[in-house]
Amino acid sequence: MASQSYELELFPNCKVTLALFDGVENCQDLKRCIMEGKVDAALLNVSMIIEPFQVLVSANKAFHVQQHGKMKTRNINSEILFNLSPTNNISESFKRFGVSNEDKSLLAVVLNDSNGEKLQRLTEQVEGTRIDMNQLKDFTDEAKIKKVYKIQDTELTNSTLLDAVICRMATKDAS
Amino acid sequence: MEPDGAPTSSVGQTCDVGELIKQGAEARVYSTTFMGRPTIVKERFKKKYRHPTLDKKLTHRRTTREVTAILRCRKSGICTPTVYFVDYESHRIYMENIENSTTVRDYIASEQKETQETNPETLVSLAQKIGTLLATMHDNDVIHGDLTTSNMLLRQPVDSSSPVVLIDFGLSSVSGLHEDKGVDLYVLERAFLSTHPNTENIFEHILVTYRKKSKKSSDVLKKLDEVRMRGRKRSMIG
């Protein structure tokens, strides 16, 4: 499927749409547009994403903190980037989980796009091709993920990489 | 949202959080799904008898302690449920529901019944797994706080490679004190021996493995001896 939409059980009126782009030529421009508030989406570094569930966990938390007025970043899209990070350093989370200038692919997260308009607009902004979400795993860089999330092989003897990542994302605020 | 700590639903009933499956002194446990994954929601409810500010602080602290302990154990290779989301507003922890599992408590009972032995080989190997798990946990300074065989799960089908999954970190803390670790073991000993008759040998295997695998075991086990001497109807002499 070219894009996938999900509904969150805890936020039944909120929709999360994921779309994967490859052959992207204008990441540098897109980054600038984000800063200028012209992009209504979170653009993620695909290599750091294992599965859509990881993004949904982040989006879920983003909706939750937004509802309670406790966002740490400027808007809900940047909050999604921040929630993916294992640390509380905001700029680090943007650098690690957002797109970089040289990136040729990206994972877009569009929120509450009931009629597909937002995704349509985004597709026009991105100079690249939308590809099937099933290809997401081809971009995942496990070694980098282990390094950024500081996951040792000891933990992986009894756990999947995804669970190790999710647990860190979920327990970041404690301690 | 429940107005106060009083339970308004009974076990088996479904409300907006999910289906209530357990009601404890401190928290309610619900079963639901999170993004399609079977999930447990542990909700610590308000204690009306406490001053509200204090209650909020304590509940928050207990919640953070619980998830910190889970992550700490995970990092050292211990099997625990995955935490998906922590709602600090309503003090709910959404975590993986370990389905198709049996508690160690039920497993011990069934193994003894099936083999008609008190020390079947399977239980000796289980004891070694538990001993190793506790050694790892204590070497990472995690005190579980409520070690019982009901808080240890085995995913089915159970075989020699199935790891023990540790759950319910509601009373856990981080401590390097031998005393705290000794007490942790004592809690398990009392729970173990009272729940499972004629299992002194099995429990001994747990301690033997613990001694072997833990780096600070001798001090902890010494404390365990001391703790055993305390308590009701025990002489403090000697």
Chain B neighbors of A171, CB-CB under 8 A: 67-68, 70-71, 83, 86
Preferred mutation among B82, B87, B169 to probe A, highest tally of A CBs within 10 A: B82
* Interchain proximity A170–B68, CB inside 8 Å: no
Q: Please report the pLDDT score of residue A147 as a whole number.
A: 97
Confidence of residue A3 (pLDDT cuts 50, 70, 90): confident
- Clarify whether B141 is annotated catalytic: no
Cβ neighbours of B33 in A, within 8 Å: 9
pLDDT digits (tens, 9 = 90+) for B17-59: 899 999 988 899 999 999 999 999 999 999 989 999 999 999 9
Q: Which chain A residue shows the shortest CA-CA distance from B67?
A: A171
* d(C-alpha B199, C-alpha B201), whole Å: 5
**What is the rounded CA–CA span in Å between residue A9 and residue A3?**
20
Name every chain B residue with its beta carbon within 8 A of the beta carbon of A6.
Answer: 35
Minimum distance, in Å, between the CA of residue B74 and any CA atom of chain A:
6
Residue A64: closest CA among chain B residues belongs to which residue? B87
If one compares B10 and B88, the residue with the highest pLDDT of the two is B88
Residue A121: helix, strand or coil by DSSP? helix
Q: What distance in Å separates residue A155's CA from the closest CA in chain B?
A: 4
Best mutation target, B14, B16, B71, B152, to test chain A (most A CBs within 10 A):
B71
B116 — pLDDT class (breaks 50, 70, 90): confident
pLDDT tens, residue by residue, A39-92: 999 999 999 999 999 999 999 999 999 999 999 999 999 999 999 999 999 999
Using the CB atoms, write b or e for A16-54: b if 16+ within 10 Å: bbbbbbbebeebeebbeebeeeebbbbbbbbbbbbebbb
d(CA B138, CA B220): 9
Map chain B to HEC letters: CCCCCCCCCCCCCECCCCEEEEECCCEEEEEEEECCEEEEEEEECCCCCCCHHHHHHHHHHHHHHHHHHHHHHHHCCCECCCEEEEECCCCEEEEECCCCEEEHHHHHHHHHHHHCCCCCHHHHHHHHHHHHHHHHHHHCCEECCCCCHHHEEEECCCCCCCCEEECCCCCCEECCCHHHHHHHHHHHHHHHHHHCCCCHHHHHHHHHHHHHHCCCHHHHHHHHHHHHHCCCCCCCCC
Which residues from chain B sit within 8 angstroms of residue A157, using beta carbons?
77
Contact B77 A158 (CB under 8 A): yes
Catalytic residue among B106, B141, B146, B180: B146
Chain A closest-CA separation from residue B194 CA (Å) = 30
pLDDT digits 0-9 by tens, B200-217? 999 999 999 999 999 889
